[in-house]
Amino acid sequence: MSGKPRLTLGELAVRAARLAAGGPRRATAQNIEELEAWGRRLAVDPRVGAQALGARLLGVARACREERRRVAALLETEVSLCPAEAAVVAGVDEAGRGPLAGPVVAAAVVLRPGVVVPGLDDSKRIPEDLRELLYDDVVAASAGWAVGMAGPGLIERVNILQATYVAMRRALAGLGERPDYVLVDGFRIPGLEGPQRGIVGGDARCASIAAASIIAKVTRDRIMRQVARRFPAYGFERNKGYATAEHRAALREWGPCPAHRRSFLGREGGNPDE
CATH code of the domain containing 240: 3.30.420.10
Give CA–CA dist 174/144, Å, rounded.
9
CB neighbour list of residue 38: distance below 8 Å, 6 or more residues apart: 15, 16, 19, 54, 57
What confidence score (pLDDT) does residue 34 get? 84
What confidence score (pLDDT) does residue 271 get? 46
Show which of 80, 111, 141 is a domain's final residue: 80
Show which of 80, 104, 133 is a domain's final residue: 80
Is residue 1 assigned to a domain?
no
How is the beta sheet containing 104-111 ordered, strand by strand?
142-150, 104-111, 89-95, 181-185, 196-199
For 43-49, the CB contacts below 8 A with 24+ separation are 45/1, 47/9, 49/9, 49/12
* 101 and 69 both lie in a single domain: no
Please report, for residues 3, 42, 62, 96, 172, the alpha-carbon distance to residue 37 in angstroms, rounded to integers and kept in the order given.
17, 9, 12, 44, 44
* 36 and 115 both lie in a single domain: no
What confidence score (pLDDT) does residue 269 get? 45
* 189 and 143 both lie in a single domain: yes
What confidence score (pLDDT) does residue 31 get? 82
* 146 and 98 both lie in a single domain: yes
Total of domains in the chain: 2
Is residue 270 assigned to a domain?
no
* 107 and 74 both lie in a single domain: no
* 127 and 27 both lie in a single domain: no
Is residue 2 assigned to a domain?
no
What confidence score (pLDDT) does residue 176 get? 86
What confidence score (pLDDT) does residue 1 get? 43
* 114 and 202 both lie in a single domain: yes
pLDDT in tens, the chain (274 residues): 444 567 787 877 777 777 676 676 777 788 888 888 888 988 999 999 889 988 988 888 888 888 889 999 999 999 999 999 999 999 999 999 999 999 999 999 999 998 989 999 999 999 999 999 999 999 999 999 999 999 999 999 999 999 999 999 999 999 988 999 999 999 999 999 999 999 999 999 999 999 999 999 999 999 999 999 999 999 999 999 999 999 999 999 999 999 999 999 975 444 444 4
* 61 and 168 both lie in a single domain: no
Show which of 49, 80, 111 is a domain's final residue: 80
* 110 and 142 both lie in a single domain: yes
What confidence score (pLDDT) does residue 24 get? 67
Residue 168 φ then ψ, to 5° = -65, -45
Say if CB 119 and CB 31 are below 8 A apart.
no
Q: What range does the domain containing 36 cover?
A: 9-80
User: Widest CA span of the chain, in angstroms?
Assistant: 75
* 71 and 115 both lie in a single domain: no
pLDDT in tens, 15-51: 777 767 667 677 778 888 888 888 898 899 999 988 9
What confidence score (pLDDT) does residue 4 get? 56
* 136 and 244 both lie in a single domain: yes
What confidence score (pLDDT) does residue 33 get? 86
pLDDT in tens, 88-108: 999 999 999 999 999 999 999
* 168 and 190 both lie in a single domain: yes
What confidence score (pLDDT) does residue 132 get? 94
